[in-house]
Structure formats: C-alpha cells, structure tokens
Amino acid sequence: MLNKAPLCITIMLLLIPVTATSQEQARDNYETYCIQCHGIQGNGMGVNIRDMSVQPRDHTDAKAMSGRSDDELFKVIKEGGLSINKSVLMPPWGSTFTDNEIHDLVKYLRKLCKCKHGD
C-alpha cells in the first residue's frame, strides 16, 4: 500500500495540467483559425484569398512583421483589422480565444517571422 502512494501522487500531478485548463496550443489554433486566409505555410496564400480585395499579411515576412509591436499584434488578433486601421477582412477573434491564447498566438507569429519588434 504505502510504496504505491508516490506513484499515485505522481499520476495525479500529471493529470492536473490536462484537466485544469481548456487552453489550446498556439499552433493548433493557428492551423484551425488562421490558415484559411493566411495559408498552410503562413505566407498569406490561404484557400480563401482568390476573391478577397485585400490580401492577408505574409506572416513569414520578417520586414513587415517586425514593424509591429507585440501589443499591436495582440490588438489586431483580438479586435480585428479595423482596430489598427487595416482591412475588415482580418476578423476580430475576441469571442473565440482567451487573452492567454492570444498572447500565445503573438509568440507563435514571432516564431513564424523569426523576428522581433524593431528588428
């Protein structure tokens, strides 16, 4: 009995992070919600773009992406293109994600562009 206790505790600890949060991984969110316009490769070449009047941003474009601060990226994801005077075709995702998920998406975008603000 006694020597099984540590095992039980370990298993319980392992289960906590899985059950305590419904937070999704940034990559999974990106590949569910963003690639329809921004493309499988994040290069702006999504399956929806043919008849769109404004083309989605190429997220692998370090020059363009480094022009935006993390706060601006957070804002455009949460509130949509109009919030930073860009196209309405970039939707607001505030009803889809938690703020934490949006922060993770900003970090994920920094990985895609391999860039920081002001590079």
Partner 1 sequence: MRYPHMIIALCALFIVSMSSAKIASAADGTEILKQRCASCHALKGPAAKTLAQLWQRKGPDLFYAGNKYNKTWVEAWLQNPKRIRPAGMFYRQHIKPGPKHDIVDKSTLKPHIILTKTEAKAVANALMKLKANSELTAKEKLVPGPSPIGEMMFDKIYGCMACHQIEPGYGGMSGPEVFTAAKRLQPAFMLSYIKNPQAWDPKIWMPNKHAPVDNIQQLVNYLIELSKEDFSDVK
Give the binding site for ligand HEC (CB under 6 A): 33-34, 36-38, 48, 54, 56-57, 68, 73, 76-77, 81, 86-87, 89-91, 93, 105, 109
CA distances from 22 to 5, 101, 105 (A): 28, 10, 15
The position carrying tokens 């009995």 is 1
**Which of these ranges, 7-15, 46-54, 63-71, 111-119, lies near partner 1 under the rule CB under 8 A?**
46-54
Q: Which residues contact 79 (CB under 8 A, 6 or more apart)?
A: 92, 94
Q: Which is nearer to partner 1, 86 or 114 (CB)?
A: 86
In whole angstroms, the minimum distance from the beta carbon of 52 to partner 1 comes to 5
Rg for the chain (alpha carbons), in Å?
Answer: 19
In whole angstroms, the minimum distance from the beta carbon of 5 to partner 1 comes to 32
Residue spans of alpha helices (H) in 41-88 = 62-65, 70-79
The residue from 15, 52, 107, 119 that contacts partner 1 (CB under 8 A) is 52
AA identity, residue 24: E
**Which of these ranges, 12-20, 60-68, 88-96, 108-116, lies near partner 1 under the rule CB under 8 A?**
88-96
Burial class, 79, CB count within 10 angstroms (exposed 0-12 / middle 13-18 / buried 19+): middle
Q: Which residues bind partner 1 (CB under 8 A)?
A: 22, 24, 28-29, 31-33, 35-37, 39-41, 45-53, 80, 87-89, 91-96
